């Protein structure tokens, strides 16, 4: 008495709302400033050279390191190598401290 029935395609389309995808919302994306833009803005506008209109940041802005000095190559870390290196340095420092105490 339990005979499977193949549903009509029209019935499946009406019932299967889970397969329909809603259109994504449209969101306005603000442009992210680059380091170069920030550097130009920092030196260009006097408003960035004071904090809350009271603290003078001119001395700080004069000694900030340029972007080229802050860039580093991406280096992958190997946990075993890093652990061995740090523990070796700690043992060396500990040995130096022990020899200074003996002297």
In sequence order, what DSSP letters do the residues of 13-52 get, joined into one string? HHH--TT--PPPPP-PPPPPPPHHHHHHHHHH-GGGGEET
d(CA 25, CA 27): 6
Is pLDDT at 19 greater than 80 in this prediction?
no
The answer to whether the predicted template modeling score (pTM) of the entire model surpasses 0.85 is no
Q: Quote the domain boundaries for residue 48.
A: 33-63+77-98
Query: Does residue 84 lie in a domain region?
Result: yes
Q: pLDDT digits over 26-62, tens only?
A: 877 777 777 777 777 666 665 556 666 677 777 777 7
Task: Report the pLDDT value the prediction gives residue 93, as an integer from 0 to 100.
Answer: 93
Query: Does residue 51 lie in a domain region?
Result: yes
Residue 50's φ and ψ, nearest 5 degrees, are -135, 150
Domain count, the chain: 1
Query: Does residue 86 lie in a domain region?
Result: yes
């Amino acid at each position: 008495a339990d005979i499977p029935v193949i549903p009509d395609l029209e019935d499946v389309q009406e019932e299967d709302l889970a397969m329909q995808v809603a259109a994504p919302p449209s969101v306005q994306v603000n442009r992210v400033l680059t380091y170069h833009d920030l550097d130009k803005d920092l030196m260009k506008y006097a408003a960035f050279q004071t904090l809350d209109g009271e603290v003078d940041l001119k001395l700080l802005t004069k000694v900030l390191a340029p972007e080229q000095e802050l860039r580093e190559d991406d280096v992958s870390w190997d946990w075993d190598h890093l652990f061995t290196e740090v523990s070796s340095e700690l043992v060396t420092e500990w040995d130096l401290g022990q020899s200074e105490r003996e002297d």
